Amino acid sequence: MDAKIVLLGAPGSGKGTQAKRLCQELGLTLISTGDLLREAVRNNTPLGVKAKGYMDAGKLVPDELVIGLIKEKLSGLKGGFLLDGFPRNLEQAKMLDTIANINMAINLDVDEQIIVDRIVKRRSCKQCNEVYHLEAKPTKVADVCDKCGGELYQRTDDSEPVVRERLRVYKERTLPLTKFYQDRGILINVDGQGEIDEVFERILKAVKEFKH
Ligand SMILES: [Zn+2]
């Protein structure tokens, strides 16, 4: 049976990194809705043109449109896949059910304080947008970009109040979502704390042990 996986995890949980590695390891197609949207816009596809209209107006791209993009992507696809960035709430999960037979939901569990610490220590370059981290990826000279010598700053998105609010919203929306997959018996909770390799091994083990 082909794995049809949705990956759930808070912003800053390391979800994107793990998604890529898992797909490489298991030979799955990674479907990142963020990438799908950007690609559709770049290629001026009919859905891409519509999406661009919303984005240019500073509006959220409607779920129906994102579902349309996923559907297009799935139609030409052979084998298993992993969805990253969708669904984000119960309504989206129900919509997804109409176009795909999801058989595994991995929830990456990371303590809120750890996520806050990870994100608020990020610094970005004003000139080239390179992203650093005060501890995990420091610059050679404090507050100066290694690449271009530009000045570093903290993006508003990375400030503690903004991160806390984002996590609160995430929790509120994700709880019903994890319950939805739990009730179906396909939810796998994985401890997302620790080194990237460590977490990856944990996910891989859980996926391999999972019985459909
Ligand atoms: Zn720079």
Compute, in angstroms, the gap from residue 152 CA to the centroid of ligand 1: 8
Number of Cβ within 10 Å of residue 65's Cβ equals 18
The 10 Å Cβ neighbour count of residue 208 is 8
78 is catalytic: no
Q: Does residue 51 lie in a domain region?
A: no
In a domain, 59, yes or no: no
Domain count for the chain, please give it. Answer: 1
Confidence of residue 27 (pLDDT cuts 50, 70, 90): very high
Q: How far apart are CA 66 and CA 145, in angstroms?
A: 36
In a domain, 95, yes or no: yes
Pairing of strands 29-32, 81-84: parallel
Structure tokens at 79: 């084998």
- CA 136 to centroid of ligand 1, rounded, Å: 17
Query: Are 23 and 30 contacting, i.e. CB atoms less than 8 angstroms apart?
Result: yes
Tell me the CA distances in angstroms from 27 to 30, 82, 140, one per residue in order. 9, 10, 38
- Mode of pairing for the β-strands spanning 131-133 and 81-84: unpaired
Instruction: Give 62's DSSP letter.
Output: P
Per the CB < 8 A criterion, the answer to whether 8 and 107 are in contact is yes
C-beta of residue 80 within 8 angstroms of C-beta of residue 6: no
Is the pLDDT reported for residue 48 higher than 80? yes
pLDDT, tens digit, for every residue of 120-152?
A: 999 999 999 999 999 989 999 999 999 999 999
Q: What's the confidence (pLDDT) of residue 92?
A: 94
CATH of the domain at 105: 3.40.50.300
Catalytic residue selected from 21, 71, 121, 166? 166
Q: Which CA distances in Å does 117 have to 82, 153, 155, 188?
A: 28, 16, 14, 25
Predicted confidence at residue 87, as pLDDT, reads 95
Q: Is 88 a catalytic residue?
A: yes
Amino acid at 103: N
Domain that holds residue 110: 4-28+79-209
Instruction: For residue 173, indicate whether it is catalytic.
Output: no
- State residue 48 phi and psi, 5-degree precision: -60, -40
pLDDT for the residue 201: 97
pLDDT digits (tens, 9 = 90+) for 175-201: 899 999 999 999 999 999 988 999 999
88 exposed, middle or buried (CB, 10 Å; 0-12, 13-18, 19+)? middle
Q: Would you list the DSSP string of 88-112? A: -SHHHHHHHHTT----EEEEEE--H
Active site annotation includes 137: no
Q: Judge whether 61 lies within some domain.
A: no
Q: How confident is the model at residue 1 (pLDDT cuts 50, 70, 90)?
A: low
Q: What is the pLDDT of residue 102?
A: 96
Grade residue 212 by pLDDT with cuts at 50, 70 and 90.
low
* Domain assignment present for 141: yes
39 within some domain: no
Does residue 173 form part of some domain? yes
Is 15 known to be catalytic?
yes
Sequence-distant (≥ 6) Cβ neighbours of residue 75 within 8 angstroms: none
Residue % of the chain over a pLDDT of 70: 99
Residue 99 corresponds to which tokens in the numbers above?
């176009």
